[in-house]
Amino acid sequence: MGEHQGSGSTSRLDRIKWWAAFALAVFAVHSIPFFQYPPGDLAYYVQPWYRHIIAYGRVQVFAEPFSNYTPPYLYLLSLTTLLYGVMALVYQIKLLAIAGALWIVYASCKLFDALGAPRWGAFGILILPSIVFNTSLLGQADTFWVAPCVLSLAASIRERWFWVAFWSGLAFAFKAQAVFFAPFVVYLFLRNRVPLRHWLVPIGVYVAAMLPAWLVGWPAWDLAAVYFQQVHEPLLAQFVSDSASWWTLFGYTAKSLALKSFWFGFLTAAIGVVAYCYYLPRLTGAALVAAAVIATAGLPFLLPGMHERFFILADVLAFLYAYLRPSRNSIIAAVLMQLASALPVAAWAFRFQHGEVCAPFFAVGALLIFWQEIAGSPEMKRNSSPPAKEYAQIPIPEQAP
């Protein structure tokens, strides 16, 4: 008995050491190389918003528009001002972004629970290059729309349609980029004949998320039109793409023609969404994760005007799929998607001239592998097989006595 207790204590001690080493590695990856870096977006956008909150008050500041972001992120930024004077402003904003990364870890745990997989793999999210770049390097808000999308995916595994709609609506309330997740939700709702009331939930969630700001005084029209205002910013007038979208190559080789051809991108994206919803059969389990990867990488790949960070959800989901279904193909696909997502961010942040041009090729490779993964799923095979009744019509010759 004493030997058994000693063995248990050693095992617990080993786990503690493992987690301590992992926590130290996460801290080193996030803080040592990048925490001192002052990104331009923080200086130009987020820091002035922070100072505006300090000047006008954490609640009263929402009486009028002061940002091109929707209020949900600004609510969190307002709470961050409680640390005013405690640490450097850039640290506060980056720690807020890291809190969003921890939310993604929590959401990934929920996804693993739904699929009966061990939770420990979720913590690998914290050392993905795209997550490190997005949080510790740039202090961006993208983790706050990625996490609800992962929670929505977890709800889809359990067929909890209200929560699929709720979390996807919350993701869109944080950032317009959550629209990349929309084809997956539409596909789910069509294939499972989800009642109309659930289709309306995301609208209600968006309105509820804007309500506190509106009650303080922020005009309703500005709250409804904030994403349209983002699209028409003057700085974007000559922007084609710097992400893993094929439009990056188009803009690199023929920018003037690309700027005149955005209609073609919107048309091909619309056709792609219709084909995605029509051809995919009703999937279950981990195959739904692969389907979500295709939606969240395929749509920004087809669209123009895509920024360097827009593939972050796709690369997070690709990592989660590789953990759930480890194989040579799934790991290669996850690596390719990570390169497609992180390389443009690195090229932008570190001024690697033309570094983003390789990213679309990585994205294509990853998308092809994920399509193969779905094509090999039991659901797709059943969908492509002749119905059983056709076999019943084939006469079976009697055996000779």
| Phi, psi values for residue 254, rounded to 5° | -150, 70
pLDDT tens, 139-177? 999 999 999 999 999 999 999 999 999 999 999 999 999
pLDDT tens, 323-366? 999 999 999 999 999 999 999 999 988 888 788 899 999 999 99
| Residue 245 pLDDT exceeds 80 | yes
Across the range 62-70, mean pLDDT stands at 93
3-state DSSP assignment of residue 87? strand
Distance CA 65, CA 225 (A): 12
Distance CA 347, CA 334 (A): 20
Token pair in block for residue 24: 């130290």
CB 297 within 8 A of CB 245: no
Token pair in block for residue 379: 């659901």
pTM recorded for the entire structure: 0.89
CB 90 within 8 A of CB 80: no
CB 82 within 8 A of CB 179: no
Q: What is the pLDDT of residue 385?
A: 52
Nearest Cα to Cα of residue 34 among 122, 127, 120: 127
Token pair in block for residue 35: 């925490």
Residues near 92 by Cβ (< 8 Å), separated by ≥ 6? 50, 80, 83
Radius of gyration of the chain (CA): 23
Distance CA 298, CA 245 (A): 9
pLDDT tens, 387-398? 444 333 444 444
Q: What is the pLDDT of residue 380?
A: 63
Q: How many helices (H) and strands (E) does the chain have?
A: 21, 0
| Phi, psi values for residue 87, rounded to 5° | -150, 170
pLDDT tens, 120-132? 999 999 999 999 9
Distance CA 113, CA 104 (A): 14
Distance CA 235, CA 332 (A): 36
Distance CA 156, CA 53 (A): 38
CA 317 and chain centroid, separation? 7
Distance CA 295, CA 177 (A): 12
